[in-house]
Amino acid sequence: MRKLIFILFLLTVSCKTKMAAPSGMVTHKAMVVSARSEASKIGANILARGGNAFDAMIATELALAVAYPYAGNISGGGFMVYRLNDGKTGALDYREKAPLAATRNMYLDASGKVIPGKSWFGATATAVPGTIAGIFEVHKKFGSLPFSTLIQPAIDLAQKGVIITHKQDSTIKYYKKQILKVSGSNNFFAKDIKEKDTVRFTQLANTLERIKNNGRDEFYNGTTARLLVNFVQSKGGYITMEDLQKYEAKWRDPVEFRYKKLKIISMSPPSSGGITLGQIMKMIEPYNISKYGHNQAKTIQLITEAERRAYADRNYFLGDPDFVEIPTAKLLDKSYLKSRMSGFTFKQPTLSSSVSHGNIEIVESDETTHYSIVDPFGNAVSVTTTVNGAYGSKLYCDELGIFLNNEMDDFSSKPGTPNMFGLIGAKANRIEPEKRMLSSMTPTIVEKNGKLWMVVGTPGGSTIITSVLQTILNVYEFKMSMQEAVNAPRFHHQWLPDDIKMEPGRFSKKVKEELTKLGYKINEHNSRIIGKVDAILVRRNGSLEAGADKRGDDTAAGF
Ligand code: GLY
């Protein structure tokens, strides 16, 4: 008996030491974490009114379209991964599509060279938007409150106005020249917008009001559709009424795999997120990474080598599953991944030039935005949404109050040639009419011992996948609280360029010296921040801890 009590005591002590005290906001029933406090509060308020996670998703997505034009949108696209309280999982793909008029060489000149900027700036870069189709699809399948209730807070916010934050002030200033160049000097964003100003988005409020009154068709076959098509075509773009009428969001099976005691549920193609995350996690799984220590040289080395191999596969194999055959099972197969790691040794780096497949070079960006939601019923949604670049194509349509996306740049304009992000694509992601372009967005939900454990995701281009990875490992392997895991310094490797990007000044000299001595190149120059993770951790006692990334204005709200 004494022995049993002693064992129980030891177990209690060890359990206690394993659980970091929360350092982020804690609530007991429900939570929304997003890039803007207005959006998190609007989402949480819908939950407080009895709405479920899907109702809150719609309200949050629309609120971000108003409060965060940098990446929030009704003119872009995204992905949602969900887990219901009974454990059922699923995913929605509301990624943009290439217009019917798209051709493989549409961004090449007569001599076959990529025309600089054509897939990046202005109407020629714009793909058929999916966001409105996405939220109506969510409402049809899972919504419990009337759509008008879910869109009204965004309309009110647009009319009442958004207070410009310090960080927003900086980004508007940073991109203003480009916006003026593309949209002209009379457009809405040409006026002097600065910190603490209240900016009212009246035209956007009108667009949202019409969507409230006329439903999904307003955007894909109504007044808004006609205004959008006329505007895009007047600026030399390709979208037609037929493109809008044919757009459909698609329910997909998420990518699911195990990592030790965790089950990871993440986004399937046309996002590369789930498969690449799975490959990296399965390659590091056999190693006792927690023993190596958080952000220690051995840990960084192991993760780097797994990332190198996974990113080499990424662009060679992945694209829109409706157009290309993707060997998902093989890519996530244990013995395949073991063979990928067979040349790995802690003694020296593997040269990227000796790792086959793909010709990929990606430079990260911190555009795009992510939000995580858990409702009082135990349902969870993880959503990443984007207009691709910051303020999309920089083309603002005053009449509709929206920036147009530049998602066409996520295709490989010319296999073998870098796009504006330095991404050199392969055939699997070449342009075809009605095809969805490859994404890195990685909205993810994690179960531990069969129960909801974490909801996580981030913006950050190619660094999305590795930021999600590090956040999960920080809590699971390195026993951090949710907020600590989000705060922790991040690094990134993506096969090419063959360097380890690190958030500047956040890694110890000793670790950098150890890695350099082994032959790794450290790059602290072009990654001021890596990712802006918004996550929720379900703690053992059922409470929810937020990880809201202070690299941005990201905020949690809940009750
Ligand atoms: N446009 C960013 C992404 O889809 O990954």
Cα of 72 from ligand 1 centre, angstroms: 13
pLDDT score of 352: 79
Cα of 407 from ligand 1 centre, angstroms: 8
List the chain pLDDT tens, one digit each, 559 residues: 455 554 444 444 444 446 789 999 999 999 999 999 999 999 999 999 999 999 999 999 999 999 999 999 999 999 999 999 999 999 999 999 999 999 999 999 999 998 999 999 999 999 999 999 999 999 999 999 999 999 999 999 999 999 999 999 999 999 999 999 999 999 999 999 999 999 999 999 999 999 999 999 999 999 999 999 999 999 999 999 999 999 999 999 999 999 999 999 999 999 999 999 999 999 999 999 999 999 999 999 999 999 999 998 987 889 999 999 999 999 999 999 999 999 999 999 988 777 766 333 344 355 799 999 999 999 999 999 999 999 999 999 999 999 999 999 999 887 666 554 445 557 889 999 999 999 999 999 999 999 999 999 999 988 999 999 999 999 999 999 999 999 999 999 988 888 999 999 999 999 999 999 999 999 999 778 999 999 999 999 999 999 999 999 999 999 9
Instruction: Extract long-range pairs of 219-224: CB within 8 Å, 24+ residues apart.
Output: 219/74, 219/129, 219/132, 219/133, 219/244, 220/132, 220/133, 220/244, 220/245, 220/247, 221/245, 224/400
pLDDT score of 9: 44
CA distances to 86, 117, 365, 417, 527 from 420, in Å:
43, 7, 11, 10, 16
Cα of 392 from ligand 1 centre, angstroms: 11
Pocket test for ligand 1, best of 441, 462, 463 (most atoms within 8 A of CB): 441
SS (H, E, C) 343-402: CCECCECCCHHHCCCCCCCCCCCCCCEEEEEECCCCCEEEEEEECCCCCCCCCEECCCCE
Q: Which two tokens stand for residue 83?
A: 């887990």
Cα of 6 from ligand 1 centre, angstroms: 53
CA distances to 73, 127, 349 from 76, in Å:
6, 8, 39
pLDDT score of 354: 79
Q: Which numbered atom of ligand 1 lies nearest the CA of 389?
A: 1
CA distances to 331, 344, 347, 357 from 338, in Å:
11, 10, 18, 17
Q: Which numbered atom of ligand 1 lies nearest the CA of 368?
A: 2
Q: Does 386 contact ligand 1 (Cβ within 6 A)?
A: yes
Whole-structure pTM value: 0.94
Q: Which residues of 262-286 are buried (b: 16+ CB within 10 A; e: fewer)?
A: bbbbbbbbbbbbbbbbbbbbbbbee
pLDDT score of 8: 47
Q: Does 406 contact ligand 1 (Cβ within 6 A)?
A: no
The whole-angstrom separation of Cα 144 and Cα 141 is 9
The DSSP string of 522-541 is EE-SS-S-----EEEEE-TT
Q: Does 419 contact ligand 1 (Cβ within 6 A)?
A: no
Q: Does 52 contact ligand 1 (Cβ within 6 A)?
A: no
Q: Does 388 contact ligand 1 (Cβ within 6 A)?
A: yes
DSSP annotation of 432 reads: -
Q: Does 369 contact ligand 1 (Cβ within 6 A)?
A: no
- Count Cβ atoms below 10 Å from residue 342 Cβ, excluding itself: 7
Q: Which numbered atom of ligand 1 lies nearest the CA of 437?
A: 4
- Count Cβ atoms below 10 Å from residue 332 Cβ, excluding itself: 18
The whole-angstrom separation of Cα 326 and Cα 253 is 14
The whole-angstrom separation of Cα 53 and Cα 208 is 21
Nearest CA to ligand 1 atom 4: 439
Cα of 375 from ligand 1 centre, angstroms: 27
Q: Which two tokens stand for residue 543?
A: 């409470």
The whole-angstrom separation of Cα 265 and Cα 275 is 10
Q: Does 368 contact ligand 1 (Cβ within 6 A)?
A: yes
pLDDT score of 357: 61
Cα of 464 from ligand 1 centre, angstroms: 9
Q: Which residues of 490-519 are buried (b: 16+ CB within 10 A; e: fewer)?
A: bbbbbbbebbbbbbeeebeeebbebbeeee
Q: Does 60 participate in catalysis according to the annotation?
A: no
**Residues that constitute the known binding site:** 95, 386-388, 410, 439-440, 461
**Alpha-helix residue ranges (DSSP H) falling in 33-108:** 37-48, 53-67
Active-site entry in 368, 458, 463, 471: 368
pLDDT score of 199: 98
What's the distance, Cα to Cα, between the start and end of the chain in Å? 43
Nearest CA to ligand 1 atom 1: 388
